[in-house]
Amino acid sequence: MLNRRTHRLGRGYSIAEIVISMALIVLLTVAGFTACYAALAVQGRADENMQAWNGAGTVREAFVSALHGGIEGDTIDERARSVTEKFGSRLGFALNATVFGLHTVTFDGEGWQLSAVMEADVRQEGTVGEDGQLTETEIQLPRRGLVLSYGGRGTGKLTYEYYSTELALTAEVTVTSGGCDMTVTAYASVWSDEAGRYVADGSAICAQEAHYEG
At 29-68, the pLDDT tens digits run 655 655 555 554 545 566 778 888 888 899 999 899 888 8
pLDDT tens-place string over residues 177-201:
999 999 999 999 999 999 999 999 9
Q: Could you say which DSSP state residue 132 is in? A: S
33, 178, 180, 184, 186 from 75: Cα distances, Å:
62, 11, 13, 25, 31
Q: What is the pLDDT of residue 40?
A: 47
- For residues 78 and 20, which has the higher predicted lDDT (pLDDT)? 78
Q: For residue 58, give every residue at least 6 positions away whose Cβ sits within 8 Å of its Cβ, in sequence order, or none.
A: 94, 95
- Cα 73 from Cα 77, distance rounded (Å): 8
User: What predicted TM-score, i.e. pTM, was given to this entire model?
Assistant: 0.71
Q: What is the pLDDT of residue 189?
A: 93
12, 46, 70, 147 from 64: Cα distances, Å:
76, 27, 10, 20
The pairing of strands 197-213 and 179-192 is antiparallel
Length of the chain: 214
Q: What is the pLDDT of residue 6?
A: 47
* Average predicted confidence (pLDDT) for the chain: 80
Single-letter amino acid code for the residue at 56: A
pLDDT tens-place string over residues 107-140:
777 888 888 888 888 877 767 777 777 777 777 8
